[in-house]
Structure 1
Amino acid sequence: MAKYRYIYTTFWQDPKVLEEMTPEDKYFYIYLLTNPNTTQIGIYQITKKQIAFEMGYSVESVNSLLDRFENCHKLIKYNNQTRELALLNWGKYNLTKGGKPVMDCIKKELSGVKDRSLIAAVAKKIRNEKIKQLFLRYADDTYHDTLDDTYHDTSTTRGQKEKEKEKEKEKYHYPDDDADFREVSSFYQSNIGVMSPYVAECIADWCKTLSPALVKEAIKRAVEQNVRKWSYIESILKSWHDQNVQTVEEVKAEDERRRTRKGKAHVIEQSTPYKLLTPDKFLF
């Protein structure tokens, strides 16, 4: 279940929003983008009754809005049988970065989609080629049928070989020839401790998802707080990823803003006058 979703401020300047949408359309679209059922992949299951209840509409109104968004605005697809809804522009704005944590989440959610045609529909607008290819693989029923046979039919030589290949893919790997990765991993081992293959792969993925400089900065902060654990470092990285932080400079700027806010709050607290309770205020 989603906790929050980003909406670009340019949403309000989009020609389709400005010229084609009514106030009701805008309200409905924001709901579709931010309701608790939304997922990382832009495809989620939701019933018309739930939409009606949460928006305060009748089911008939919801039917009308869904039809308008699918056939007029062409922004969604809704499957009445599986009750799955796809946001067709989701990949254009939300599926721009990869990395192991993101890809793992995408794979998990894609595997749960019942209507594969919705996956193909969302894939069309995805700009990140790696993520787009992953979507297309899951959209291919033939690919999944073959994959299922591979996992379950291990009695044949072909099935056993395919299973071995899948196991091989699951082995940890990291780029020994990447200078940035070597620098970060060396910094980790000097300040945190021995780096396991799992941590090495996570670091490599975070270097791609954010940047080597940000990963190194997260390690520094763990050392400063004397919390020398990978889980703590990764929690910092996830926080920056959720905030769409791109550089160390942005992190430090946010730190400064936070200190400024705390300073102002402290000044206000200190400057608040206290009223002295004089004897004539007591009740006898």
Structure 2
Amino acid sequence: MAIYRHVHVEFWKDPKVLEELTPEDKLFFIYLLTNPNTTQIGVYKITKKQIAFELGFSIESVNVLMDRFINNYGLIKYNNDTREICLKNWGKYNLNKLGKPMLDCVRSELKNVDDKSLLEFIKPSISKEEIVSLFDEAIYLDKVNDDNFKFNDKD
């Protein structure tokens, strides 16, 4: 968990933000980008109840916002079973530096993701090939482990 998160000023110039998002949407989105649960890779566990509490919204409002951000805007994905959220363009703004500490952090955080399919959602926004490779490796290992589980389960 980082102590702070950068919010690029381009956020406020983005046509989607300017023309489509309501004031409530903008607060919700800034919260998703900066809340204490965020990780370096853009996939993190958070409950709808926690979001509601921290923003002062009802659970119903959070459900409406989540639905809008998933189905209308296509900006997030949320797994209700694992309670993990991922942000589509996270990699564009947060996964653009390299170095051993950064790669070690990414490698470590990828191990903590329960729903590896969420990584596919973020991957297109990552420009650094070394980080894309780490995402690919995590996705591949998850598929291999899942296939091995299915194979062994048939015995």
Give me the TM-score of the superposition, normalised by structure 2: 0.91
Q: Which amino acid aligns with 1:63?
A: N
The alpha carbon displacement at 1:82 in A equals 0.2
1:142 aligns to what? 143
Q: 1:42 — aligned with what? A: 42
For 1:195-274, list aligned pairs within 5 A. Answer: none
Q: CA deviation at 1:29?
A: 0.2
Matching residue of 2:152: none
Instruction: Please list the CA deviations of residues 216-251 of structure 1 after superposition, one character each: whole Å capped at 9, or x if unmatched.
Output: xxxxxxxxxxxxxxxxxxxxxxxxxxxxxxxxxxxx
Residue deviations 1:77-133, cap 9 Å, x none? 000000000011000111011110001110110001000100111112111111011
Letter aligned with residue 48 of structure 2: K
Structure 1 stretches of 5 or more lacking a match? 149-284
Asked which structure has the greater CA Rg, the reply is: 1
Tell me what 1:220 maps to: none
**In structure 2, what is the Cα distance between the partners aligned to 1:124 and 1:139?**
14
2-structure distance, mates of 1:85, 1:142: 20
Cα distance in 1 for partners of 2:20, 2:38 equals 24
Which residue does the alignment assign to 2:108? 108
1:63-74 correspondence to structure 2 within 5 Å: 63-74=63-74
- Say which SS state the counterpart of residue 44 (structure 1) adopts: strand
Once residues 142 and 51 of structure 1 are traced to their aligned partners in structure 2, the CA distance between those partners, rounded to angstroms, is 31
Using CA pairs under 8 Å that are at least 6 residues apart, name the structure with larger relative contact order, 1 or 2: 2
- Secondary structure in structure 2 of the residue aligned to 1:124: helix
Q: Paired residue for 1:92?
A: 92
Q: 1:74, 1:109 → 2: CA distance?
A: 24
Output the CA distance in 1 between the equivalents of 2:110 and 2:66.
23
1:151 match: none
**Aligned equivalent of 1:79:** 79
Task: State the partner residue of 1:28.
Answer: 28
Q: Give the aligned residue type for 1:13.
A: K
- After superposition, give the CA deviation of every residue in 1:171-230 in whole Å (9 maximum; x if it has no partner): xxxxxxxxxxxxxxxxxxxxxxxxxxxxxxxxxxxxxxxxxxxxxxxxxxxxxxxxxxxx
Give SS of 2:53's match. Answer: helix
Distance in 2 (alpha carbons) for counterparts of 1:45 and 1:14: 27
What runs of 5+ residues in structure 2 fail to find an aligned partner? 149-155
Partner of 1:17: 17
Higher helix share: 1
Query: Which whole-Å CA distance do the structure 2 matches of 1:68 and 1:138 have between them?
Result: 29
Aligned length: 147
Query: Secondary structure of 1:96's match?
Result: coil
Shift of 1:2: 2.6
* Residue 137 of structure 1: how far off its partner (Å): 1.2
Report sequence identity in percent.
Answer: 60
Q: Distance in 2 between matches of 1:72 and 1:63?
A: 13
Provide Cα deviations, 1:20-70, integer angstroms capped at 9, x if missing partner.
Answer: 101111010000000000000000000000000000000010001011001
